[in-house]
Amino acid sequence: MRLGCPICGERDRREFYYQGAALARPEGEAWAPEWDDYIHNRDNPAGVTRDLWQHEQGCGSWLIVARNTVTHEVLGVALATEAGA
């Protein structure tokens, strides 16, 4: 697998570290079911998934990668700072 880092260009998977699902952080500090979902509950989609990857052995950027777990197609890579996570 290769990922197109927006800064470094297309690079081998070995340079990246998987950092988990890219989720929207719930608003507020009070406990709510959304926090339970955010911390504990994950979908396991057969299809498109949106994850955080870090270009650890490259520029260091955190990236949001959209990919298809069935076809292995990489659909898009964006900087986390610009796409929000």
Q: Which of 59, 80, 83, 85 binds other proteins (CB under 8 A)?
A: 59
Residue 9 binding partner per list Zn ion, other proteins, none, with a CB distance cut-off of 5 to 8 Å that depends on partner kind: other proteins
Main-chain phi, psi angles of 74, to 5 degrees: -90, 120
Strands (E), the chain: 2-5, 9-12, 17-21, 48-54, 62-68, 74-79
Are the beta carbons of 54 and 16 closer than 8 angstroms?
yes
The yes or no reply on residue 15 touching other proteins (CB under 8 A) is yes
Closer to other proteins by Cβ: residue 60 or 76: 60
**CB closer to other proteins out of 17 and 45:** 17
Using CB under 8 A as the binding rule, whether residue 26 contacts other proteins is answered as no
